[in-house]
Structure formats: structure tokens, C-alpha cells
């Protein structure tokens, strides 16, 4: 498995398995065990996914040494702030049955993220968290953390797929030593991703599916990917993207699919921010 080197020297697999929208305990546990069996050695979960316990059980039962698994979890907005963040990390560690996390992210750019970051810096410095980062932060929010704190985020996990390609964001992140990671690499099937004429035609050149083309396109850009599926055969298909390379003209052709905006919602939309606050009773 190809790995990227984070800004603190930690090596992270460029492909992992995501468990978003798999809240059922037994199904999530089975999926993680299947993914590990296929060969995945990075698992991405979050407190908000409500499946950390299942992920932890699967890793324990897999027989794979914990040190070989790159495990990521995330802080939800109800736990932002210095003290609340420390408690949230402890809760995640207990559910995941581990005494450290390879990567821990602030899930959303709202609330007292600076208080949370100071807590994460302490946990990073004592070795509880091997790397810390953010998710869904636009460049201005990333820079705000960088200039006002000591530890530069190792990763920014953001929506990135053929219809929202984030080239400018990636350039900014690279300039500041922050690894770009994609969530929803397939845009959750929006815009007919899996049957898109261009992606299918490119795939035919390499005897690969549209999904495999998308993953290969991101990997060749140096973007970490965490595709999610509940079907083992799809896990195998997604994992089988390291035996070919897209030609430059194919990489350029995919740029034509870029719509340049989120296919879900904007994290800068005031109404979205109000909605997040309303879920906390604020």
C-alpha cells in the first residue's frame, strides 16, 4: 500500500476504509472485518457516526496488530472546547478499545475550535494522538488555526470528487504542509458517478470501472481516499487500483467534470451554520 508522509513524519496509507452511514453495530463490525481481510490498513470513523464501538471490536477480532492499523476518529461539534474535547477523546479511545489514535480530526469548523485545538495539542504532545487535523475547513479557517497555534494540522479531510475537485484548496494545503484527504470520493453516486460517460470510457481503456478511475485519479493527485461500501466485492474493487496509472490526457479530461461547488452543502452558508447549532439546542 502506498503511503503519504504527514508533516510530522507519520506515514498514512493513501487509501483507507470509511464507515460513514453504517450505524448498525453488527453490519459495521462485519464491514470492517471484511475490509481488513481485503487488505485495508486504515479505518476512518467518527463519534458522530455512532459506530466506534463496532470498529474497535472488529480491529480487536481481526488478529491484526493494532500498530498496523491507521485509525482515525473525529470530534463532533457538541464536544468542542478544551475540557469537552479531552473527555470526547477519552470516550472515543474507550469505545475503540485503544490507548492511542493515529489521527484525530475536528469534524466541523464551528464553535470553540481553538479551545479544542489546544486540547488536541496536549494529547498530541503526550503521544495519545499520533497526528491531529481538521475536516471541512476552508483555507481561511485552516490558516486561522496555523497562525494562532503551535501545531500545524496534519490533515484536512474535505469533500473532493470529480464534480468538486478542490484544486485551489489542494494547492493551499500543500503550500502549508497539510495533507489533503477526500471524503465522498464518489460524491455518494450523485450526477450518476458510476455510469458517467467520460469516467466509463476512460475505465474501458484500462479495463477498470468508473469508480476505480475516480480513486486512481485522486491517488495520482496525492489525495488520501476513504471509499465506503458495505459489499466485500466492492471493497476488493476499490482496493484494486494500484496496478495501473491514468495517462496525463485522462487526468486532464476529468477536470472537465468539475462543477466547482459542493454537491451536498456549503460549510460557509450561514443557514447551514444555524442548522448545526440548532441540532445542539442552541
Annotated binding-site residues for substrate read 107
| Dist CA 249 CA 64 (whole Å) | 40
Handedness of CA 117, 132, 177, 9 (dihedral sign): positive
Say if CB 120 and CB 86 are below 8 A apart. Answer: no
Numbered residues of the known binding site: 107
Assess whether 110 carries a catalytic annotation.
no
The residue annotated as part of the active site, out of 49, 104, 124, 164, is 49
| Dist CA 74 CA 171 (whole Å) | 24
Strands in the chain per DSSP E: 3-5, 11-13, 17-18, 42-44, 70-75, 103-106, 132-135, 155-159, 179-183, 224-225
The three-state secondary structure class of 262 is: coil
Active site amino acids: 49
Amino acid at each position: 500500500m502506498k503511503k503519504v508522509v504527514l508533516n510530522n513524519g507519520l506515514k498514512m496509507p493513501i487509501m483507507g476504509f470509511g464507515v460513514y452511514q453504517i450505524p448498525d453495530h453488527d453490519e459495521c463490525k462485519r464491514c470492517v472485518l471484511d475490509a481488513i481481510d481485503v487488505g485495508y490498513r486504515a479505518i476512518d470513523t467518527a463519534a458522530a457516526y455512532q459506530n466506534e464501538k463496532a470498529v474497535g471490536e472488529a480491529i480487536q477480532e481481526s488478529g491484526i496488530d493494532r500498530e498496523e492499523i491507521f485509525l482515525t476518529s473525529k470530534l463532533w461539534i457538541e464536544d468542542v472546547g478544551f475540557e469537552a474535547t479531552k473527555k470526547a477523546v477519552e470516550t472515543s479511545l474507550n469505545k475503540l478499545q485503544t490507548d492511542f489514535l493515529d489521527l484525530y480530526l475536528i469534524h466541523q469548523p464551528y464553535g470553540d475550535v481553538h479551545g479544542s485545538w489546544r486540547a488536541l495539542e496536549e494529547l498530541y504532545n503526550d503521544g495519545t494522538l499520533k497526528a491531529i487535523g481538521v475536516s471541512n475547513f476552508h483555507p481561511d479557517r485552516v490558516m486561522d488555526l496555523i497562525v494562532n497555534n503551535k501545531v500545524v494540522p496534519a490533515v484536512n479531510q474535505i469533500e473532493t470528487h470529480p464534480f468538486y475537485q478542490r484544486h485551489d484548496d489542494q494547492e493551499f494545503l500543500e503550500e502549508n504542509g497539510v495533507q489533503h484527504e477526500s471524503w465522498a470520493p464518489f460524491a455518494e453516486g450523485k450526477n450518476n458517478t458510476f455510469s458517467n460517460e467520460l469516467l466509463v470510457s476512460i475505465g474501458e481503456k484500462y479495463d477498470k470501472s468508473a469508480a476505480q478511475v475516480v480513486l486512481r485519479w485522486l491517488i495520482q493527485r496525492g489525495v488520501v481516499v476513504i471509499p465506503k461500501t458495505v459489499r466485500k466485492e466492492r471493497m476488493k474493487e476499490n482496493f484494486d487500483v494500484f496496478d495501473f496509472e491514468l495517462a496525463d490526457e485522462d487526468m486532464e479530461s476529468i477536470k472537465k467534470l468539475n462543477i466547482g461547488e459542493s454537491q451536498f452543502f456549503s460549510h460557509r452558508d450561514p443557514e447551514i451554520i444555524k442548522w448545526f447549532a440548532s441540532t445542539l439546542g442552541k
